[in-house]
Amino acid sequence: MNIEEHLLVYRFDTSRGWQSVPFSIDPAHNAIIVITNSFGIYAVLHGVALGMGENPELPKVPTLMGNVPNPFNARTAISYYLPTSVDSKISIFDINGRCLAKFEQGQRIGLVTVLWDGVDDKGLAVGSGVYFVRLEAGKTVSTKSMVLIK
């Protein structure tokens, strides 16, 4: 399954609202690439279309959106929203509670997406099974499950 089919990237324009922008995914660097000529607020969404000029109702607290696709094979995009600038961290746990991977994001604001390729922090591929993704952002802690099928 192509992960790009499930992602949308938008830029907020103060006069026109949210505008769709083209993007690509660099799997070698777990990165979403947007070529632009200006700084601004960008949002990476999965499975939702805002439409041109619409202003979405965004969460007022840090919110773990989950991962797409789920279940996944090889790679999944984990998205969360931060309404204010706060340090955030995504951690991946197995069913025994062992932390397999951490993604320290530092001070962030807005929609954030982390790509996980089913590899732990030691560089070892994990097996098929149920895993848990945990968001820690300020005082908020949120957890969701995800399924890796190889």
pLDDT of 2: 53
pLDDT of 1: 45
Residues of the chain with pLDDT under 70: 1-6, 13-18, 46-58
Q: What is the DSSP string of 98-148?
A: -EEEEEEEEEEEEEEEEEE-SB-TTSPBP-SEEEEEEEEETTEEEEEEEEE
Whether this prediction's pTM lies above 0.75 is answered by no
Spell out the domains of the chain, with CATH numbers in brackets: 3-148 (2.60.40.2550)
